[in-house]
């Protein structure tokens, strides 16, 4: 798995940048056409007449690492309703075949494809964002929640708006992923550096239910480990 991480970091250094403008997207579409056959091999046609909720509705530059460690470039987005990655191939929308994908870099963010059998409390495959790597790895799994609006008196539901929610997982071996439950568990996981960690949390006023604070803390903990064992 360390080999995988080194590959994704290397791929992330490729100077394609992120795709936000129409001109950028057209450039990537042109690049796609140079290996349409390869892209078709790792994807399937997709119907677009279903409701969708995207991690990012924009089409972004996406780098795909296949199970054979080949790097392919495309334009894509993650559809959370269908638990799929949509990509543009020769101006058509197709769905990535998860069985042939090892990892993604979407808009600069590293995303690992994890089998659901390895994730505590989940029974479906999932694309999980890598927030911190080292002795203790932190990952983010997105899911769909609903904001419910009810009539103040009758309690009748007037509207259910889909919203994005996150669960955070940790792993030390990239073989099993465990749901992170709160501060007590985090301190237990970082017991070997507990004094430094507690001081760091207090000084930086970290809120450990928030993504940014969790990332900062795990990066700090992993840096302590690497400074002792370079």
Give me the pLDDT at residue 127, please: 84
Cα separations in angstroms, 4 against 9, 71, 106: 9, 12, 16
Sign of the alpha-carbon torsion through 89, 49, 19, 111? negative
Convert the pLDDT of each residue in 196-220 to its tens digit.
999 999 999 999 999 999 999 999 9
Question: Has this prediction a pTM greater than 0.75?
Answer: no
Question: Reduced to 3 states, what is the DSSP secondary structure of residue 48?
Answer: coil
Domain locations in the chain?
A: 1-110, 115-230
- Do 179 and 169 touch, CB atoms closer than 8 A? yes
- What is the average per-residue pLDDT within 168-185? 92
| Angle made by CA atoms 81, 88, 119, in degrees to the nearest 5 | 40
| Angle made by CA atoms 97, 99, 100, in degrees to the nearest 5 | 75
Assign 16 a pLDDT band (cuts: 50, 70, 90): very low
Tokens 């530059």, located at residue? 61
Convert the pLDDT of each residue in 89-142 to its tens digit.
877 889 999 889 888 988 778 888 888 788 887 766 678 899 999 999 999 988
Select from 184, 196, 185, 202 the least CA-distant residue to 221.
196
Give me the pLDDT at residue 219, please: 96
């Amino acid at each position: 798995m360390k080999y995988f991480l080194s590959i994704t970091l290397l791929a992330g250094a490729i100077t394609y940048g992120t795709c936000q403008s129409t001109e950028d997207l057209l450039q990537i579409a042109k690049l796609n056409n140079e290996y349409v056959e390869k892209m078709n091999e790792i994807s399937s046609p997709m119907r677009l007449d279903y409701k969708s909720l995207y991690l990012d509705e924009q089409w972004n530059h996406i780098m795909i690492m296949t199970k054979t460690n080949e790097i392919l470039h495309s334009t894509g987005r993650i559809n959370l309703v269908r638990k799929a990655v949509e990509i543009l191939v020769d101006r058509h929308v197709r769905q990535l075949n998860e069985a042939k994908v090892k990892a993604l870099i979407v808009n600069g963010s590293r995303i690992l494809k994890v089998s659901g059998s390895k994730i505590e409390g989940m029974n479906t495959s999932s694309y999980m964002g890598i927030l911190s790597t080292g002795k203790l790895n932190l990952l983010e799994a997105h899911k769909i929640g609903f904001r419910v609006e009810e009539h103040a008196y009758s309690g009748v539901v007037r509207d259910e708006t889909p919203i994005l929610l996150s669960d955070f997982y940790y792993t030390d071996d990239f073989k099993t992923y465990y749901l992170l439950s709160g501060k007590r568990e985090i301190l237990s996981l970082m017991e070997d550096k507990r004094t430094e960690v507690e001081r760091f949390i207090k000084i930086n006023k970290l809120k450990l239910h928030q993504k940014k604070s969790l990332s900062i803390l795990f990066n700090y903990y992993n840096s302590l480990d690497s400074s002792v064992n370079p």
